[in-house]
Structure 1
Amino acid sequence: MNEALEVKELYVSYQGDIVVENVSFSIEKGKIVGIIGPNGAGKSTLLKAMLDLIPNDKGHVRILGKDVDDARKLVAYVPQRSDIDWDFPITVLDVVVIGTYPALGMMKRPKKEQRDWALECLKKVGMEEFKNRQIGELSGGQQQRVFLARALAQKAEVFFLDEPFVGIDATSEEMIMLILQELRTEGKTILVVHHDLSKAEFYFDELILLKKSLIQYGEVQKVLEPAVISKAYMNHHLFLNRFGEVQSS
């Protein structure tokens, strides 16, 4: 089986309003896929619904051929920075050690092996020197790199990242993207909620264009065609710059 993700007829509502409507798609293993669309399109809601972090009205999601509950150990999730309590008294290293918990099993505490692995993951994202800092003391880019290290510590097969590049520095963004590309080379599958259309062509293999319902899913160039992208951004000002990149203004 070469399918990493399968979503069928997914519906999600919030306080009686439909937020995600009849969304279906499947993603092959070893792809970096961006989820794009205007504000309020349901991008983050779709991501959370796929992970069963919020209830679905109806529909079905399978990850690596398994129901979500059976696939949790194979999945890593990096939430939006705004969803995290940065005042929580926990060190950078301990944040990453948490990523080893799914493999440990119930009631088992991490040992030296897990802490050594967590430190290796911190080194991979260039954050080992901050291992004893409280997580809230870091910059936005540093925090995002730590949470990517936590995801790496899980040794997952599928990665879900919700707006990972918002409010971070260019160096951190470049490093995160390089790591995601390495994961793809290893056969991992990555879904990224993303808002900057100008970088979509360079970051992703495929795009999911969403505006409550699925507008288009497929190769980046096809999704970014003006006739397609305008279906989602018809109330936004779009332009093509001299490189042919679609941007929002």
Structure 2
Amino acid sequence: MEKERKLALLIDAENIASKYISIILNEANNLGTIIYKRIYGNWTSSNMSGWKNVILDNCIQPIQQYSNVSGKNSSDSSLIIDAMDLLYQGRLDGFCIVSSDSDFTRLASRLRESEMFVLGMGEQKTPQSFISACNKFSYLDLLYSDGSAAPAPHQAPVPGAKRTAKKKADKDEERSGSSLEAVKLALRELAEENSDDEGWIFSSQLRDLLVKKFPDFDVRNFKYKKFVPFIESLGIFESRKYSPKENDTGKIVYFRLK
């Protein structure tokens, strides 16, 4: 039996809304056992009022961080320092970092260098650099809206910035596991490179390779609950299923490009 991961859940409250708490805890619990639950912010601020009952109900330890400079998110440094302290204790197998802030990119990379599993959680506005630094990344706003892939609201356009923003969006889309076209292209490439001599590839191998390429890939982004039905819906693979043993309800699934 595979050993369950021991995890630290670290939440940037100044960057994440309290309405996501159920999703955050579910995602972390699906990954392993949460040993530490900490949330960082300036709790003297009225903006943090939405978190107060949530913290009590879910037994999350609040870490106070005063804002010494106006407009600067000072809780970032506290979260990073705590993460490194917990890493050096040697008790954990992974970290769940909840933020849409690119400031945690180096932290995620450093934790992975120490062979920690890193689950990132944030909204679709999260910079690609932070997403790529994680082993896996979950979009809280997509999960909150029941898998809807509708884009997050945008701010009013800045004059002269429309073309630059579009180029950046197109570039991010090419590297995003929430883009159906990017996922389909990656699936073709992965299947061609890793299939056997007859072109077949085991479904779980294909899934694992896809997650390595796109840490933010999740079938729930496309309103599916399981990987195999999602792949079958794309229409680019033929499938082969069989039971390892007679009368066994469990099936092994292989895919081959059409």
How does the TM-score come out when normalised to structure 2? 0.36
Larger radius of gyration: 2
Higher relative contact order (CA 8 A, sep 6+): 1
Structure 1 or 2: larger strand share?
1
TM-score by length of 1: 0.37
